[in-house]
Amino acid sequence: MNPKWDSKFTVNINLPMNYWPAEVANLAECAEPLVDMLCEITAPGAYTARHSYGARGWVLHQNTDLWWATAPMDGPSWGTFSTGGAWLCTHLWQHYLYRPDRKFLERIYPVLKGSALFFVDTLVEHPREKVLVTCPATSPENTPQRPGNRPIHDEIIGWEIVPNICAGPTMDMQILRDLFGHVIAASEILDTDEALRKQLVELRSRLAPMRIGRHGQLQEWMEDWDSTEPEHRHFSHLWGMYPSCQIDVDATPRLARAVGKSLAMRGDYGTGFSMAWKMNLRARLRDGDYAHRMFRNLIEKQTCPNLFSICLTTPQVDGTFGACAGIAEMLLQSHVGEIRLLPALPKAWPEGSVRGLRARGGFQVDLRWKDSQLVSATIHSEFDGPCKVSYGEKTEELNLRAGETCILRGAELSSK
C-alpha cells in the first residue's frame, strides 16, 4: 500500500532507461506503450503548461503516474526539472529513425511540436551571458557546491537537503538542442510549420553551450561548480553523449575527452542504473574494456538474483534494461549517420556472434567475430536507400533496396 517512490514513473532517468534497448535490440513493439503514453499525456501536460506557466504546448516534469500527472511534485529539488517530456520526445524521434515511416512521423509530430512550443514560451535570456536558458531548473538529482549553499529542512519529504535550483543546466540545454532539432527536421519532412521551423533554428542557436571546466570535465552547470557528491549516481550533464549524440569521439573530440574526465571523477561504482549509464557512456567512448568492467560491477554488486538492478536498496528494472542497451552499444552503433561494427568490443569477448540487432535507417544486422576481429556482417534493409558501414579504419558505402541483404566479410568489409 506504500510502494517505493509511490510507484511513480521517474522521468529524469529511470523511465527513459527502460526503453533504451527497445530499438537496437529489435523490440520496437515494446516501445508502443511509451508512444501511447506521450500521445495521451499531452492533454494534462497542456493544462499544466497553461495554468502553471501561461504557456502553449505541454510539459511533463520529473515524475508521472497511472493518471498521467504532469505538474511539479516531490519538492523543488526534483520538481523544477521541466524537460522530462522533452526527453521522452527524443525517444519518439529515435523510434522514427530506426524505422522511418512517414505515417508514424505524422502521428507523433503534434507531440514533438507541442513540447517545443512550451519552451518557445518559457525560455529566458540569462542576464549576464545573454544566452537562452531554462529557469528555474535543476540538474537531476545532483547539487552544486556553490558559495553559501547550506542545507535546509524540506517539509514535504522531511529531509535536510541542499538547494540545487539553477539556470540553464547542461542537461536541459542538450535535451532542448535535440528536441528543437527533431522538430525542425520533422517539419521539413512533412513540409509544414515553416515559420515555427525558422523560429526554432534561431532559438536553438542561442541555447547555452556546453562548457569544459577547470578540471577538464564537462560542466554540469553554466558555472564551473563542483558537486557536493563527487560520486553522484546521475550523469545528467553527459546526456549529450548518451543517449544523445551531440558529443562524439570523432566529431567533437575535446568534448568527448571532457566526458571521460567527468566519468573518471565519478568513480566506478554506484546504483544499478548508474553503472548501466556508465556502461553506455564508456561504449560511446569506444572503451570496451571499461564498459565491460562496469557490466561486471553491475552484475556482481548491484543486481538481485532475479536480475533486477538495485537503486538505494530498492530492486528496479532500469539498470537491467540499461545494461542490455550497453551490450548492444558495445557491438553496434549507428548514431552518427553510419553503422559502426564492433566499436567497443572488450578483450573478454574475443569470439562471438549476435543476430537481429537494428541500426538507424531501417537496417537489421548480424555479426560474427573471432580473435577479436570481424568475420562477417550481414546487413538487411527494410527500405530503399544508402547505407554507410564502418569497421576500424575501413568504410563501405552500400545502396540497398527494400528487402535486400548484403554480406560483408572480414576487416576489409568485402562484399565479394
**How confident is the model at residue 174, as a pLDDT?**
98
**How confident is the model at residue 312, as a pLDDT?**
84
HSE on the CB side for 53, CA within 13 Å?
28
339-341 and 385-391: which strand pairing?
parallel
Q: In what order do the strands lie in the sheet with 405-409?
A: 352-359, 363-370, 373-381, 405-409
Q: Cα separations (Å) of 83 from 41, 138, 142, 221?
A: 14, 10, 16, 15
Domain ranges of the chain: 4-248, 268-336, 352-409
| Residues paired with 381 in a beta bridge | 363
CB atoms within 10 A of CB 222: 20
Coil, strand, or helix at residue 248? coil
DSSP 74: S
Cell of residue 112, nine digits: 514533438
**How confident is the model at residue 376, as a pLDDT?**
97
352-359 and 363-370: which strand pairing?
antiparallel
Amino acid of residue 24: V
The ranges of the chain with pLDDT < 70 are 151-160, 416
**How confident is the model at residue 66, as a pLDDT?**
92
Q: Cα separations (Å) of 297 from 86, 301, 404, 409?
A: 31, 6, 41, 34
- The whole-angstrom separation of Cα 298 and Cα 321 is 12
- The whole-angstrom separation of Cα 288 and Cα 277 is 14
Amino acid of residue 391: Y
Smallest CA-to-CA distance from 77 within 135, 133, 134, 138 is with: 138
pLDDT in tens, 27-76: 999 999 999 999 999 999 999 999 999 999 999 999 999 999 999 998 88
Whether the CB-CB separation of 236 and 195 falls below 8 Å is answered with no
**How confident is the model at residue 331, as a pLDDT?**
98
DSSP string, 321-336: HHHHHHHHHHHEE-TT
**CATH number attached to the domain at 4-248:** 1.50.10.10
Cell of residue 60, nine digits: 511533463
- The whole-angstrom separation of Cα 174 and Cα 251 is 16
- The whole-angstrom separation of Cα 384 and Cα 402 is 5
Vertex 170 angle, CA 166 and 174, to 5°: 130
Q: Give the H/E segment covering residue 356.
A: strand 352-359
- The whole-angstrom separation of Cα 30 and Cα 203 is 34
- The whole-angstrom separation of Cα 148 and Cα 245 is 35
Whether the CB-CB separation of 169 and 221 falls below 8 Å is answered with yes
**How confident is the model at residue 239, as a pLDDT?**
98
**How confident is the model at residue 158, as a pLDDT?**
67
Whether the CB-CB separation of 347 and 372 falls below 8 Å is answered with yes
| Residues paired with 352 in a beta bridge | 369
Q: Cα separations (Å) of 224 from 128, 132, 401?
A: 15, 18, 50
Whether the CB-CB separation of 77 and 33 falls below 8 Å is answered with no
